[in-house]
Every structure is written in C-alpha cells, then in structure tokens.
Amino acid sequence: MDGKNNQPCHTVNLKYAADIHSIKEAQLRIAPFIHTTPVLSSSTLDSLAAKQLFFKCECFQKGGAFKIRGASNAIFSLHDFEASKGVVTHSSGNHAAAVSLAAKLRKIPAYIVIPENAPKCKVENVKRYGGQVIWSEVTMQSREAVAKKVLEDTGAVLIHPFNDGRIISGQGTISLELLEQVPGIDTIIVPISGGGLISGISIAAKAINPSIRIIAAEPKGADDASQSKVAGRIVTLPETNTIADGLRAFLGDLTWPVVRDLVDEIITVSDEEIIKAMRMCYEILKVAVEPSGAIGLAAVLSDQFKQSRAWQESNKVAIIVSGGNVDLAALWDSLAR
Ligand SMILES: Cc1ncc(COP(=O)(O)O)c(C=O)c1O
C-alpha cells in the first residue's frame, strides 16, 4: 500500500478506492486479528420474510462490530515509521474502539477524540482497549479542530472511519467470508452510513458474482444515501434523527461512487421498525444487536422491500448484522417510549 494516498500500489488506474485484490490482501493481513463470524438462520424469521435469510453476525466480531476489519487493515498497512507516532480518530462509536484495539495489537498509541456528550459505554469501550481519550466539544468543527491539533502535536496518522481505501478493503473481507460460508446468496442487505461497509461488501461480492444484488438499509431520519441516489450527487442533511447511532454519518467522496454504481436499491426504515427488529434479534435469534445492526432485518421485513422487484427476484438473502454494542440506557429509554 502507498501510505500517503491510501491507494493500493498495484492499482494505479483503480475505478474505486478498493478492488478485489486489495480486499484479498486485506483478508490475509487481518486474519490473525479478527474472528471468522458465524452465519445464523431461523425458520421463524424465514417464514416472516418469506425468504431464506442468513444472518452474518459481526456482532460477535472482536470489539463487537465489523469495524476491526477496516481498522486493523489500515493500521497494519502503515509503514513502521508512520505507525511509530500512533494513530488518531474522532469517531466516538465502534470505529473508535476498533482503532484502539488494532493500535494496541500493533503496540502503538491511539488518540481518540470524543465529544463530551458521548455515551458512557462507548467511552468505556475505547478505554478498555487502551485508547487515550481526548475530549472535544459536541460539534463536528470542534471534533475536527481537536483531531487536527492532536495530529500536529503527535505526528500520528489519521484513520478515517470510512473514506479510506484501506478501511473499505478491510470491510470487504466480510463478502469473501460470507460467500464461502453460504454459496448461492443472491442478495446482501447492508446497513449504510458513511458507506465504507457497503462499498467493501459490494466491490468484493460483485467481483465474485456480478449478479448479486446489494441493498442498503438506511434510517428514515438519516436518509442522505437514499437522497443522494435520487439526486445523482452527494446530499448531506442539516441534521439527523435516529436511534441508530452508528448510521448518522454522510457518504464521502470515496464511498459515493461505489454506492452510486454498485448499490442496487436503498430501503429506508423508521426507528419503530428498527426497534421491532432489535427485539426479534433478542427474542428469536437470541442475539444482542445494536440498532444499526438490526436495520437489515427491519429492511427485509419492510413494505418497501415487499413491494420491490428485488423481493420478487431474491431467494437467499444475507443480512449483515453489523454490531452488537448496545447502549442499554438508551435502549430502555426508547422501549419505554
Ligand atoms: C454497527 C454499525 N453498523 C453499520 C455502520 C455503518 O458503516 P459505514 O459508515 O461504513 O457505512 C456503522 C458505522 O459506524 C456501525 O457502527
């Protein structure tokens, strides 16, 4: 990898920030640091969806979410001289914990800029993996300004949560694993936020089988990707409002082209549908899933999916259960409401 522009060296004319080769390289690079996650099924949920469903359980991944795939690929791609000063990120969610964990494995410092209103459980996750918490104000401007200062003071490297070829390549390893575990998958449903996860998954899946359909699942209260597809350009929103705390970011300039070209459809669901799906994950699958991780099940059970052409054409549907880091306090609160 070329550490300066985040592009794999072998692909000078890359169409996207990652390709099947960089994703296969990532798979080898991160194998010692991640779990091969299980694929679960449930005949009860199959009957409800009238499809064969396969739940790829990244909630059982190290750190409780898929994010360690991209974070470990990025951090273990760094040359020693770059890595020695450590890494920085200003995400307060699953990416922050994954960067902390991957940095710990590489024995380098991780500086995590966290807004002062971040949920306690997320801060604890970062600390548990040895990340050094640096507080910022709540606004994105403050987070970015503090991260910039940390970068200048330490000489560390910024690890972006999604707009980075190494992150996209790491997340794409999910498809390599999934399509080996369950041959014949025709549709993959993927939560979307900044788009790193779905970019990696769709690049790898379509390289293996171009007819695989990729469906994004997005909260109605943060539907920038859906609006971007309609507008044919990146749309950002003045504000977001959803219980899915991992799905509030907007697409980046490296993820948008992949979403534009390779994502076949975007299904938007309400918070109510997400909470109902979370409940089904607990009660039927017996799995603790966070709102962002349950959204794929909500999408497959939605009216929008049932009325789509994709519904008529799909049989074996994989759902990426992307994370299980539930903020219990927020969950009780929303269930009570
Ligand atoms: C659990 C979970 N699912 C999905 C996503 C969305 O990933 P991306 O931003 O790469 O689209 C995130 C991002 O933080 C997440 O934490």
In this predicted model, what pLDDT tens digit does every residue of 19-65 receive, in sequence order? 999 999 999 999 999 999 999 999 999 999 999 999 999 999 999 99
Residue range 258-273, pLDDT digits in tens: 999 999 999 999 999 9
Say if ligand 1 is within 6 A of residue 194 CB.
Answer: yes
Residue 6 has pLDDT above 50, yes or no: no
Q: Return the residue whose CA atom lies nearest to atom 14 of ligand 1.
A: 246
Say if ligand 1 is within 6 A of residue 192 CB.
Answer: yes
Which of 166, 197, 203, 281 has the most ligand 1 atoms within 8 A of CB, as the residue to mutate?
Answer: 197
Q: Return the residue whose CA atom lies nearest to atom 1 of ligand 1.
A: 323
Say if ligand 1 is within 6 A of residue 91 CB.
Answer: no
Helix (H, G, I), strand (E, B) or coil at 153: helix
Own/partner contacts of 239-242, CB < 8 Å, gap of 24 or more, are 242/271, 242/274, 242/291
pTM for the predicted model, two decimal places: 0.94
State the chain's mean pLDDT as an integer: 93
Whether the CB-CB separation of 259 and 251 falls below 8 Å is answered with yes
Q: Does domain 33-65+169-336 have CATH number 3.90.110.10?
A: no
Distance of CA 47 to the CA centre of its chain: 28
Q: For residue 161, what pLDDT is reported?
A: 94
Residue range 167-205, pLDDT digits in tens: 999 999 999 999 999 999 999 999 999 999 999 999 999
> Tokens representing 277?
């799906």
Give residue 139's pLDDT band: very low, low, confident or very high (50, 70, 90). Answer: confident
Say if ligand 1 is within 6 A of residue 324 CB.
Answer: no
In this prediction, residues 107-128 reach a mean pLDDT of 88
- What CA dihedral angle connects 16, 20, 24 and 29, to 10 degrees? 0
In this prediction, residues 6-22 reach a mean pLDDT of 73
Catalytic residues: 67, 92
Whether the CB-CB separation of 262 and 22 falls below 8 Å is answered with no
Residue 13 has pLDDT above 60, yes or no: no
